[in-house]
Amino acid sequence: MSESMRIHHHFEIRWGMVIDIDKCTGCGACVVACQAENNIPPNPDPFDRMRDPHWLIVYKLSNHKKFPEHDTAYLPRPCMQCGNPSCASVCPVIATTKDEEGGIVSQIYPRCIGCRYCMAACPYHSRVFNWFDPVWPEGMDKTLTPFVSTRPRGVVEKCTFCHHRWQIAKEEARKRGENPMHLDEQAYIPACAEVCPTGAIHFGDLHNPEHIVHKLARSPYAFRILENLGTEPQVYYLSRRDWVRKQGDNHFRQEEKKNS
């Protein structure tokens, strides 16, 4: 990627996630919590991933070796909140941008015209389009949260790192008379990271040395998915397993030689 294509903003805070793949059991608690928190409607048949809205999904990885050398791992995939988001640069109506402090890529539903260029541009399949109006079974709509507006048919949506939780944390900090731009590590945690029973999902400010993610992202076992594309994701993964880290990127054959 040429320098001119980079749309780097400088942010004081860079919210980031470090997911320890070696601790993920694929239990799915994060997916459920994400769905409940962000008013993603339930679906009796959610297995057509092209049609079903989801913000966070868990992929199963395989080392592709034969039994009994086979190994498996789970990879939860939220929005990567890229440093150079390919989705934002293609949006014709500026419904998705990366301009707010914290570096979370925004998605404004009323502004979205549903052209889905962003979906084509996103290399992580993090974005989903609402092909249908959202439906909750009668009574279950009572569990809608006040955090995220419901999305009608015809707009694109994606993970926001539970951006509303940051807003809530900032309000709490203001109430206590603290600086809302210098939050405690525990003050703002997305739903998936909060519920993860093995603590595989770490969250914090990648710029802040007091936050654990600052250290973890610099671990020799840390990697990002498709790093070669230059998207600079704010989601890092950790694995001590070589084969897992290798699957983080698609290498052309000549690149592989260069890297090894």
Contact positions with another protein (CB under 8 A) in 211-230: none
Q: CA-CA distance, 206 to 243, in Å (whole number)?
A: 26
**C-alpha separations of 121 from 27, 116, 132, 142, 234 in Å:** 30, 9, 22, 36, 17
DSSP H helical ranges for the chain: 29-37, 86-90, 117-121, 163-175, 191-195, 212-216, 242-246, 253-259
Least distance (Å) between residue 16 CB and another protein: 16
Q: CA-CA distance, 191 to 187, in Å (whole number)?
A: 12
How many residues does the structure list for the chain? 260
Residues of this chain, 117-176, that bind another protein according to CB under 8 A: 133-134, 136-152, 160, 163-164, 167-168, 170-176
Residues of this chain, 85-104, that bind another protein according to CB under 8 A: 94, 97, 99-102, 104
**C-alpha separations of 94 from 105, 107, 112, 123, 166 in Å:** 11, 9, 8, 19, 22
Strand 57-62 versus strand 128-129 pairing type: unpaired
* Interface size with another protein, residues (CB under 8 A): 91
Give whichever of 28 and 255 is closer to another protein, judged by the CB atom: 28
Least distance (Å) between residue 223 CB and another protein: 18
Chosen residue from 84, 90, 109, 117 binding another protein by CB under 8 A: 109
Chosen residue from 14, 19, 52, 87 binding another protein by CB under 8 A: 52
Least distance (Å) between residue 248 CB and another protein: 17
Residues of this chain, 22-51, that bind another protein according to CB under 8 A: 22-29, 31-33, 35-37, 39-40, 42-44, 46-47, 49
195 lies in the binding site for another protein (CB under 8 A): yes
Chosen residue from 66, 253, 257, 258 binding another protein by CB under 8 A: 66
| 239 touches 19 (CB < 8 A) | no
